[in-house]
Every structure is written in structure tokens, then in C-alpha cells.
Amino acid sequence: GAGVSQSPRYKVAKRGQDVALRCDPISGHVSLFWYQQALGQGPEFLTYFQNEAQLDKSGLPSDRFFAERPEGSVSTLKIQRTQQEDSAVYLCASSLGGGYTFGSGTRLTVV
Amino acid sequence: AQSVTQPDIHITVSEGASLELRCNYSYGATPYLFWYVQSPGQGLQLLLKYFSGDTLVQGIKGFEAEFKRSQSSFNLRKPSVHWSDAAEYFCAANLGGSGGYQKVTFGIGTKLQVIP
């Protein structure tokens, strides 16, 4: 597609619920990144894929967070047993080099 | 530690006035540098980037930024601000690796308010 598409735009989850956030990158973009942006903060790196390979997951805050990109295109960020501190905007970006193109993000609210 | 610092959390300027948003980085070499803008409820849009070469880079929407190695800075400027420029601005840097493939570290952001 023309841009990076993320769904859903908004997600409200009850504490303890599992959630799955989807990212559809720009077609042909090799690199895909997930960032977490808490209220009033800059985006914080979560994980990076080059095609289907997850090359860096150093930013995932706990083992409740899991990301995959099985066919090297669409990616899913899964959060298990959500907690209130997981409330944030989750941004996906793709790149072919020279800067990222970001999606509009998924705003997750854990209640 | 490698980091990106935006010392101004909030800036207010009058419409038509000039603007400079500050950004400093801490890194042992010259990183790749970026400025992004984020409007409320939106994703991040790339304004401009510096990889090498001319230290004054032009971006979209009339913005420019100057890389100063001696000051480890990459300040964003605009000669005349428009009301539509009100948004949050993020400085970012690739503090390792090459090209845009490595993770980019963001500053905390500067929220720009424009008054008539």
C-alpha cells in the first residue's frame, strides 16, 4: 500500500487480557520496527525485523511482549496478560533505508 | 550513554516569528540524524534527515536543520512559523550501525504552540 497501516487504531483491554496489534508495512520495505510511545514521551524502540528475521528485540519490556513477521511483510505485536503500564501508543515503521515511514499507531488503553 | 536530548519540552512562538528547536546527541561518532513531526493522534512524519555532506539540510514544510559536529547538535529552524506548524517535534538519531536499518533513538519531544 501507499503507507504503513496499523490496526486497530484504538484498543481497550481489561487487565490480564491478551491483545494483538497488526502492522501492514509499505510493500517491499525490508525493515520493520515497533516502537512504544507512552503519554508525553518520545517513542521507545521495541523490536526490529529484517524481512522475517527478528534481528533485535532488546527493547521488549518483558516476556509478555512478542512480535512476529512470518512472511516478511505483515507483522503482529502481541501482548499477553496486559497490565496498566502497557497503556501507550504502539507505532510501527517500515524502511527501505534513509528514514522510517510510520503508521498512525494503535492506542492501547488497559483498564 | 548514547542519547538524544531535546532541552525544551514546550515552546510558544507567535505566528510569523522565527523558530529554532534544539537537539543534542551523545555518541562517539557522527550519527544519522532526523527530525520528525507528530500532530495529535497521528503518526510521525519525517521532516528532514542528515546522513553526510552539506551540514545544512532542507526539509519539507519550509524547515531546515544544521548539523554542528563541534556542538553535537542538530537544531531545527523555520524562518516564519504558521499556525499549522503547531505540533510535537522529535529529534532522532541512529546511534549505531549504518543507514536507516538500525534502531533510531528519539528525544523526548518539543511541543510547539503557535499563537496568533
- pLDDT (mean) for B49-76: 94
Q: In sequence order, which residues have a C-beta less than 8 Å from that of residue A90 and are 6 or more positions away?
A: A6, A21, A34, A35, A36, A37, A46, A77, A105, A106, A108
For residue A99, pLDDT beyond 80: no
**What is the predicted pLDDT for the residue at B97?**
52
CA-wise closest residue to B55 among B77, B37, B31, B74: B74
Alpha carbons B93 and B87: distance in angstroms, whole number: 20
For residue B108, pLDDT beyond 50: yes
Residue type for position B88: E
Alpha carbons A49 and A30: distance in angstroms, whole number: 8
Q: Which residues of A touch B (CB under 8 A)?
A: 4, 30-31, 33, 35, 41-45, 48, 50, 56, 59, 91, 93, 95, 97-105
**What is the predicted pLDDT for the residue at B100?**
46
**What is the predicted pLDDT for the residue at A52?**
95
For residue B101, pLDDT beyond 60: no
> Could you give the count of Cα atoms lying within 13 Å of A69 in the half-sphere of its Cβ?
26
A-B C-beta contacts closer than 8 Å: 58
Alpha carbons B86 and B38: distance in angstroms, whole number: 9
On whether the CB atoms of residues A26 and B96 are closer than 8 A, the answer is no
Q: Per mean pLDDT, which of A25-29, A39-43, B26-30, B75-79 is the most reliable?
A: B75-79
pLDDT category of residue A1 using cuts at 50, 70 and 90: low
B41 touching chain A per CB within 8 A: yes
CA-wise closest residue to B30 among B71, B76, B1: B71
